[in-house]
Amino acid sequence: MQNSNLDEQQLAAQQKTAELESLCQQDKLAELNKEFEALRPKAWIAWGDVLLVLFWYWMLYWLAPEFFDQPWAFILMMFVITVLGRVGYESKRINKRIDLLKAMLQK
């Protein structure tokens, strides 16, 4: 009699422990999802990068206008813009792959 009562108490304790672990795991998952969403790239960042490049070109033109008299200056500017565009494209592609991986893991 006492042995079965002890078994029931142990079973109840194990169930409570399992429930607490499940709740902790759900809280951790919710926290990770929140952090993941916070790290998602924002649309305004790309426009900010473009404005920053234009600002630096304007500063360069204001501080050293003779730089733009050089024949290679526009080639250099085109190269910088091309590299920035390529980096932005790869960043967007990586973020899409991460989103796809997250969707696959949730299924």
106 and 72 together in one domain: yes
The number of folded domains in the chain is 2
Residue partners of 84: CB distance under 8 A and separation at least 6: 49, 53
Question: What averages of pLDDT result for each successive group of 10 residues across the chain (107 residues)?
Answer: 65 74 76 78 80 89 89 88 88 86 80
Residues 48/76, Cβ–Cβ less than 8 Å: no
* 57: containing domain: 42-107
What integer pLDDT is reported at residue 55 of this predicted model?
93
Helix axes 43-63, 73-106, angle to 10 degrees: 160
32 and 52 together in one domain: no
What integer pLDDT is reported at residue 6 of this predicted model?
60
14 and 33 together in one domain: yes
34 and 60 together in one domain: no
